[in-house]
Amino acid sequence: MKDDPIDDRPASTHVGGPASDIAAELRRLRLAAGSPTLTHLQHATGISRTVISDALRGRSLPSDRTIDALARTLGADPAPLLERRAELVRQHADGTAETNRTPRSSPRGMRRRTGALLAGGSFVAGVVATLAVVALVGQLTARDDGAPSIVVHSGENPANTRCLDDAVVATSDTRADDSLLQIVWSDKCQAGWGRITRYDATYLGNSVTIAIYPQTDPDGPLRQEATEHDVQGAFTTLLVRPSPDTLICADGSFTVDGTRIDLGDPLCI
On whether the CB atoms of residues 248 and 214 are closer than 8 A, the answer is: yes
As a whole number, mean pLDDT of residues 117-140 equals 39
CA 161 – CA 239 distance, rounded (Å): 13
Is 158-268 in the same CATH topology as 18-100? no
Q: Which CATH code fits 18-100?
A: 1.10.260.40
Would you kindly state where each structural domain of the chain is located, as residue ranges?
18-100, 105-145, 158-268
As beta bridge partners, residue 195 has 182, 235
| pLDDT value of position 66 | 92
What's the CATH code, domain 158-268? 2.60.40.10
Nearest to 25 by CA among 186, 160, 189, 226: 160
Kindly report the pTM of this predicted structure: 0.52
Q: What is the pLDDT of residues 180-223, one digit of tens each?
A: 999 999 999 999 999 999 888 888 899 999 999 999 999 999 99
